[in-house]
Chains A and B, each alone.
Chain A
């Protein structure tokens, strides 16, 4: 008997990177996972193969754009028909306009970024109640250290993450009577496709001058932490932001480089 046998977990943006690693972590513990993606971007067979290798139940892969509320309704209707329940929501997918200079700071880009980064967590949580009759016991939001520390091109992403972290704290309050735990997992410097496409391939080589390859985090570490928060061991934790970085953020600065030069 595995901890998540018979339970259902939804991971948005779950066909690659951190989302996929998180879905696999739940799958290894028996969960039926529902993973979403946009545009048919995923090679479904390759994704399913990874679940087979992890001895996880085959995931249900659904195309759902976080920007389209009709997709959300359809997705939850599918979950209702197929499984009739949702035990954990992992709100991972987000999108934001990247910013290279002040010229990129436009109101339209800002509002679109907020919608696509901060709103889906709320929309999906409410949709679970509306379509399935109950909130998931666990809501996990994937975030980053962008709201606190400079990250290239990240202006609007960081705003969206700051907003969703704040909304997570308020959701934790509003859902306190329902036994729901709402927490945020922050991560950084994981070599996923999203990392390369946001920061460019050069950034990795630049960082390697100062830090060993092991410094980079794996998506699996983040997935395991998200699973742990939904395992029952952290049921007294809600409204919190958990950094999953092995302490990297603390040491990230010119002081570390100076020390290395000596």
Chain B
């Protein structure tokens, strides 16, 4: 007597279960809604529980459902061929959060063997003979079928393994398609039909679900050099256009009049092209700094000040900061500004003594040796964007706190990888660790730094090469690893599992895939109500 199921023991899991690894073609549970990968948590009215002792495990586990001697159990229960059996199963909820529970009603059947009219064993009532080599010497049907079932089982339980190369497995699976088609054509019947269904379901699953990635989603992949080049070209063009558009206003040279003693009227409100200044040209007191330009072209000294913390200069510096985030982090902080001469002069203290000069408010700047240009007369909200920024703008890495969900933390984590924000990436890891002794006792280190720079570099390489996107597809339920009640001062440690899909580009389509290099199941923990943090040691 058999259920026709194969199952893997999950008794050590916090929610003890048997995971369905295969449903034979003639199982009494075919067509009942049971799926490969389902966790059986109750058989009839008997919940699956962890054995209390090794002896009990030795005594019962081999005849549990889906195990090699399950028939003994059905016999002990006095069940007969065709008797109904209800299984309670859990599977990841279709909503993507937590588990959903289902009850499936199948039947116990006698173990069947099939023979043809020549009393030769066959695969199913109308199937090929098991020992036949058909159509060629490399294809003995039994070997082929058993290997294929293993393959299909693995594929249909795709989540089971993190060391699963889905594209390689797909190639291997597709190698069997021709023979499967031959089977369907040559030996039509329930066996061929069931195998055809399982095969195509596995192919569909292993191909991975499709994703529609937008240009915006993929913008991060643009090579930094390419982005820098493009932005620099836009900068040069915009700089030239700005100068041309304001040619009538721009003074041919910096004024040489004295900012206090002479009449500033003729130059007030005019635009002046200042020589390039860098951070070394900051002058002022510790509480207030200016870009200071000492123009000596007229033989004397003539100062021009740009308030570093003024509105326009702040927008200019923030644009340079955003360029560092969006294009290249190592932009040189030098500025070639065109600025408007303000009505009032200013006095600024520096180490060389106080200087009196003209106040200038920048209206445009070429930054970083021409790497970027920003027109400060243009505003987008509180900012002024640098030329080409719209093409590059992408959401910044969202900060996470105690109110963020595990899914949000993981999404922030992946955003950080894509954005090249190592600090945010590093901040998503737990700085504690928890593990279990063999006897089940938990040990927790309150301090355990994670995430090496090598892992960071590796993660960055992946998102710039074969991984085009990452999607969180399922979030498990929170469970307490330690309740805080174990002893005085014990910590409260909670954990949740998140499943993700990596998205690759295959034959022009973005599809989910798995690789031994990537981790699909992620664990996040929360210690004493702190923010959720990644407790795994891998970086991608």
The answer to whether A and B interact is no
Q: Residues of A at under 8 Å CB distance from B?
A: none
